[in-house]
Amino acid sequence: MKLVVGITGASGVGLGLKFLELLPSSVEVYCVISNSAKVALKGYYSNQQTLDEMENFIIGKWFDTLEISHNLYKRWS
């Protein structure tokens, strides 16, 4: 499987391309890692002020994934 990734700046101007060749057996692993990162990285954009708040957010997201109720972070309203 060949994959082309475009790299852009904030203005949307193309800065470069990267060509990757993936083995079919590796694609599923990359997708799982990518989906996990999406959950964890959202905390960066949710205005956490301290390391404890960031930690609670990430643990809370894990709990959300496992469907465990909690009040570790303030949800969007």
Please give the Cα distance from 20 to 29 (Å, whole number): 15
Q: Is the pLDDT of residue 1 over 80?
A: no
Q: Is the pLDDT of residue 3 over 80?
A: no
Say what the pLDDT of residue 71 is.
Answer: 92
Please give the Cα distance from 61 to 55 (Å, whole number): 10
Tell me the per-residue pLDDT of 18-49, one tens digit each, with 9 for 90 and over. Answer: 666 767 666 666 666 565 555 555 656 677 78
* pTM of the predicted model as reported, rounded to 2 decimal places: 0.46
Please give the Cα distance from 67 to 46 (Å, whole number): 21
Write down the domain spans for the chain.
2-65
Tell me the per-residue pLDDT of 44-77, one tens digit each, with 9 for 90 and over. Answer: 667 778 888 888 888 888 888 888 999 998 877 6
